[in-house]
Amino acid sequence: MSVEGEHVEDPTQQEEQASAEVRERVRDSFERQGLMAHLGARVTRIGPGRVHIELPYRPEVTQQHGYFHAGATSALADSAGGYAALTLFPEHAEVLTVEYKINLLAPAVGSRIEAIGTVLKSGRTLTVCRLEVFAVQDDGERKLVANGQQTLIRVDRPEA
């Protein structure tokens, strides 16, 4: 398998899984996101401080040249980082993106894209995440097509 980009992600690497409760909380929240459902994205891995989200190729998520649209790429990265942060917070907490910066490194061409959010620093109020998006071919070849950084704020869930 060949990999292009500065960060080499080994998809066969065993990652620690988050607890069943955290995985359920992330999946429940993700299912309430209208944009992710509209795009056809799905969460594929949930670990402590790390979440993977994939989006299959469809014409509806591309731009005029047939590449994955930067908006879809960015939205996937934003959600992956947000959920990575959420895995480290208590049940009553939620997160909101304060800012993120994304660099589009290459056209996103593949059978799917995979966004990986990884917590770099989790604080009581602010959390910083690394964002990476890979274009993945059917044969498993991966290419880093976007990377970035995100700052999130922890907020308490309103009481019902």
In tens, the pLDDT along 82-128 reads: 999 999 999 899 999 999 999 999 999 999 999 999 999 999 999 99
pLDDT at 8: 38
In tens, the pLDDT along 66-85 reads: 999 999 999 999 999 999 99
pTM: 0.89
Per-residue buried b or exposed e for 49-71, using 16+ beta carbons within 10 Å of the residue's own CB: bbbbbbbebeeebeeeeebbbee
